[in-house]
Structure 1
Amino acid sequence: MAQKYVKEKFEYCKIIEPSATFAGLAFEQCTFAGGALMQEQDDPAYGLLVRDVSLQKCKVGNVVLYGIRCDGVTVDTLGHSKPIEFEACVFEHVVLRGNLGAVRFSPAIDDESRKVLAPAAVKLYEEIDWALDITEAKFSGIEMWDVPGHLVKRDPETQFLVRRDAAAAANIDALPFYAQILIERAAEAPYETSVLAAPARSKDFEEALDAFRKLRDLGIAE
């Protein structure tokens, strides 16, 4: 049974470890001042593990997340004024639902780190049946450049799959303005498929949705 915390406040905490497991935790209506959870050194074993953890209606400050493997994690409604970036993280059976702010999934920024972690992530994903479920998530902003799109459970009406070869072959100038940079990014993504999701909580939602539907009509998205 998970250790449960309700309406508790947690101070800023920085955890930088070569290997550690955080498991069996449930947080409900808790507040986190912020912090860091990251690998001490680039480790292809991805020994920094968050497993069987849930957050429901929590709030979090500025956080740094790097090189983490998340397994069996559920986040249901999260308040955060600053974007949350998962840099070089790997996901297995992770569910995001409810209202969230801006979220970004990106490869390691540093070139040398990317050379170590990217191939390791590819191998891990070969053994994973699905990575993320965002079918019920409503973001104010969302970018997914470091998760294989075909391993993402999505709402096909607002969240679209783009294949790297189709993005690379697209005539960028002929695309809706909103989608041009995103398709360029999809053509350079580390995986063969990416997901473009219209941010339901953004003022640009309708523009994004219209642009992605046009990409589908053109055969670039599905």
Structure 2
Amino acid sequence: MRNHIKEEFEYRKIIESAATIADLDFERCAFGGGVIMQEADDPAYQLVVRTVSLRKCKVGNVVLYGVRFEDVTVDTLSHSKPIELEACVCSHVVLRGKLGAVRFSPAVEDDSRAVLAPAAAKLYEDVDWALDITEAEFSDIEIWDVPGHLVKRDPETQFLVHKSAAAAADVDALPEYAQILVERAAEAPYDTSVLAAPIRSKDFEEALDAFRKLRDLGIAE
């Protein structure tokens, strides 16, 4: 394990078909930002970040595409722009502490999604848990590309939604805050999704009330 404490790293791009970034520990480090992405859509997901931890770090703009994350922990991260994880796969990834906006989404391009989505689903068949957000405090959080039943969550503020229940819901009768989210859950690639109330957002109470209403209606649990 290589340890880095209070170091600064310049903006860097890693665009590879196959590469492994592993055994790194960062504490109170500053990153100018960067890109980690597949050079071409690879269903084998050979671009891997493994056994990496960040504690109380700061990052600039980051682009993450088609990355397989394994045994990664992020504890308190300062970032002014959303962390976008597009078409990424997670196994034993822990997010905790204070974070900004974080979004897990499928590949935007149809051709890319046709290659990566079924490959990711196959990889998740062998994962006992993918993501742990039980101790995370987000300013905004969207998890559309990780199977909800593989997400460890705080049931008081983070709710599991089944795709079938979302598809059957009368969206117009739902709280306004939840309407678009339920529609997206009905179209998500997996049978379950997680809706988490963003603790660090001014809309936290509104979101929490809306998600509790979904639970009362049997749409969330």
TM-score bracket, normalised by the shorter chain, equals over 0.9
Cα deviation, residue 209, structure 1: 0.1
Q: Distance in 2 between matches of 1:78 and 1:153?
A: 19
Aligned to 2:145: 146
Q: How does 1:176-215 map to 2 (within 5 A)?
A: 176-215=175-214
Offset from partner CA, 1:106-159 (integer Å, 9 cap, x none)? 000000000000000000000000000000000000000000000000000000
- 1:36-60 per-position Cα deviation (integer Å, ceiling 9, x unaligned): 0000000000000000000000000
Instruction: State the partner residue of 2:154.
Output: 155
Residue 117, structure 1, aligned to residue 116, structure 2: yes
1:169 match: 168
Per-residue deviation, residues 13-46 of structure 1 (Å, max 9, x unmatched): 0110000001100000000000100000000000
Following superposition, the deviation at residue 87 of structure 1 comes to: 0.2
**Counterpart-to-counterpart distance in 2, 1:114 and 1:162:** 22
Q: Distance in 2 between matches of 1:150 and 1:69?
A: 19
Q: Structure 2 stretches of 5 or more lacking a match?
A: none
Q: How far off is 1:212 after superposition?
A: 0.1
- The one-letter code sitting in structure 1 at the alignment partner of 2:4 is Y
TM-score using structure 2 length: 1.00
The one-letter code of the counterpart of 1:157 is E
| Cα drift, residue 79 of structure 1 | 0.1
Does 1:32 pair with 2:31? Answer: yes
1:63 — aligned with what?
62
Secondary structure of the 2:60 match is: strand
Matches of 2:152 and 2:62, distance apart in 1: 25
1:46 is matched with which residue?
A: 45
In 1, Cα distance between equivalents of 2:21 and 2:61: 20
Write the distance in 2 (CA, Å) between the matches of 1:73 and 1:12.
21
Which portions of structure 1, spanning 4 or more consecutive aligned residues, are displaced by more than 2 angstroms? Answer: none
Measure the CA separation in 1 of the matches of 2:176 and 2:109: 29
Q: Secondary structure at the match of 1:181?
A: helix
Matched pairs, number = 221
CA distance in 2, matches of 1:63, 1:105: 13
| Deviation per residue, 1:55-75 (Å, 9 max, x gap) | 000000001000000000000
Tell me the TM-score normalised to structure 1 length: 0.99
Q: Is 1:83 matched up with 2:82? A: yes
